[in-house]
Structure 1
Amino acid sequence: ANTINPVITPNLGFDFVKDFAPISLFSTLPNIVVVHPSLGVRTVQELIKLAREKPGQLSFGSAGVGGTSHFTGELFNVMAGTNLVHVPYPGTAQAATDLLSGRVQVMFSPASTVLQFVAEGKLVALASSTLRRASVAPDLPTISEAGLPGFDTAGWFGLLAPAGTAPEIIDRVAAASNEAAKSPDVVATLAKQGFDMAGGSPEEFAAFIRDDLAKWERVASAAGLKR
């Protein structure tokens, strides 16, 4: 949400780019596109076809306005030329509950919330949202592979410091963060929750943030969500 809030909230009281110094991207959390079985689709292309045939009649639930699950759905609408209607909930669990009941038909959700229901046959997983396949679901294609080339979104977690922090401190913390991201125990623990480890330099993290902000700016403009 750090790269979405500046796009949809004009008076945050701080500048996410100017007021912080990127240290390192630690991990990412892909979303999984899941649908209720009654929808009768098994692939991203089938979902796109059905959504185009029924504009405004299918809905996707999210954990709230401005979150990654919301904007992943909006990016899907923009790239696929569909009109899945957004239904925001107070949290992921509430959205998943209504998806399981069929009240909403689609969700772009962290794997930890929905894969257990996929295994039980209560939901159908179509694809993951990142360019690389999610480590927690390696047999699941990506949305990019499945029909929308270049589609790439994820929740992300990284370290930042106040702007003006000494470069040697930034580099020291980045090195420690990257080392932790390679720890087998850390990797195994976070993988169970659906996280993919990242890492990288402060410069790479800064470029990642700029690209993410630009992407969500385009999506918000196309979806009419800018304020």
Structure 2
Amino acid sequence: MNLFAFLENPENWPGPNGIWARVVEHLIFTGLSVVVAALIAIPLGILIGHTGRGNFLVIGVSNAARAIPTLGLLVLVVTLLSTGTWPVVACLVVLAIPAILTATAAGIQNADREAVHAARALGMTPGQVVSKVEWPLALPLVISGLRSATLQVVATATVAAFVSSGGLGRLLINGQRLQDYPQMFAGAVLVAALAIVLDVVLGAIGWAVGRRARPRGKTAESPAAVPA
């Protein structure tokens, strides 16, 4: 049996149910879920990290999200609402929030205290301290949290197929129903390839952001940067 037969057949790529359409659907699930999770988790993480209050919330949310079975939550949401993109996204958001929230709170809280104290001594407002000092220093760690959340969502978005939604999970479900092992293999390979590509892209962004942040830190610490 040629496991690559489904991928090698050019007829399986175009069309509304083709491989390209499934990849786009999977990316839509992933992108929407991570963006919505970031809009919730990043401001909350900044608030917790800056004030030093609410660390129990970070731990509680992280533990609760890990304990929730994604498939069970997805079936519940679809039963209460309907099938479609947003019920799937809502479930994946729950999975993505903990990694982003934890990384953001830790990044803000662990920002260079000397730089923070210096900013306050210069008369900066709390908002300016966050935007000009803590956030730039925390950004590499925030991107790391986004990277982790994205990988989790890419892998878990395959469950969307269980409630008649799209994505690469359809290849797994259809392949299992038809006992078409090359199609199942294609779904697994494409999910893994998509995860690797997104991981490399976000890793490169994190590396670039971290590299830009380091020279600034060195400049700020150098004697020439301190006024006489």
**What TM-score does the superposition give when structure 1 sets the normalisation length?**
0.25
Work out which of the two has the higher radius of gyration on C-alpha atoms and give 1 or 2: 2
**What TM-score does the superposition give when structure 2 sets the normalisation length?**
0.25
